[in-house]
Amino acid sequence: MMGMVCSWDIFYLNMARFVSTKSKDPSTQTGAVIVRPDRSVCSVGFNGFPRGMKDDSALYADREKKYSRIVHCEMNALLLSHDEQVKDYTLYTWPFSSCDRCAVHLIQAGIQRFVFPALTTEKASRWGDSLALAQDYMREAGCEVVEVQPLKLLRSMSVPLEKLI
C-alpha cells in the first residue's frame, strides 16, 4: 500500500537525517526515528558498532570488518526502544528505506508504516535490489509504504528566518 505524505512525515524524515549525523561511518550515515501513533517519538538510532566494541576508523575503512560489526540505524532504534512493543508505529529512515534483512525484523516487531526518501540513482546502484525487496516485503505484510520525493524535502528546508526566531 502506498501512503500519502503529510507535514509530520517531512518533520520526522528531517529528524532522521539529523540523527544520521551521529554515525561515524564515513561512507554511509543512516538515521532512524520510530514514532508512536500519537506522533510522539519512541526511539532514534543511527548506524554504528555495538557499545563496548572498538569504534576505530580503521574498522570502518575495512568493508568486511565493518559489515560484520555494524548495527543498522533502524535496528538500533528498535533495540533502544523502551516500549514493550512497537505495534502500529511508524519508522522514518534516512537516506533510504530499510534493507530486506531489517525490514523483516521491523515487520515482525509490529512497525506498520515505513517512510523514507526516494532512492537516488547513485544509491540505487549499490542498494537498489535489497531496498526493492524490502519494500516488497513491507507491502506483502500489509504495511503502508511512503516514499518521499526529493522536491518535498527540499521545500521543507527553506524555512523563513522569522519562523526560527
Does residue 165 fall inside a structural domain? no
pLDDT (tens digit per residue) in 109-148: 999 999 999 988 888 888 889 999 999 999 999 999 999 9
Indicate if the pLDDT at residue 94 is higher than 90.
Answer: yes
CATH number of the structural domain spanning residue 143:
3.40.140.10
Does residue 164 fall inside a structural domain? no
Domain limits at 130? Answer: 7-155
Average pLDDT over residues 79-84: 88
Indicate if the pLDDT at residue 17 is higher than 60.
Answer: yes
Does residue 35 fall inside a structural domain? yes
Closest CA to 74 of 55, 89, 57, 59: 89
Indicate if the pLDDT at residue 84 is higher than 90.
Answer: no
Q: How far apart are CA 19 and CA 14, in angstroms?
A: 9
- Enumerate long-range contacts of 126-129, CB under 8 Å, 24 or more apart: 127/96, 127/99
Does residue 68 fall inside a structural domain? yes
pLDDT (tens digit per residue) in 32-43: 999 999 999 999
- Number of domains comprising the chain: 1
Whole-model pTM? Answer: 0.89
Indicate if the pLDDT at residue 9 is higher than 50.
Answer: yes
What is the set of active-site residues?
A: 74
Strand positions, DSSP E, the chain: 31-35, 41-46, 90-94, 113-117, 144-148
Average pLDDT over residues 56-79: 95
Does residue 21 fall inside a structural domain? yes
What was the pLDDT predicted at 4? Answer: 76
CB 131 within 8 A of CB 114: no
CB 33 within 8 A of CB 19: yes
Indicate if the pLDDT at residue 164 is higher than 60.
Answer: no
Does residue 160 fall inside a structural domain? no
Does residue 162 fall inside a structural domain? no
Average pLDDT over residues 82-103: 94
Does residue 117 fall inside a structural domain? yes
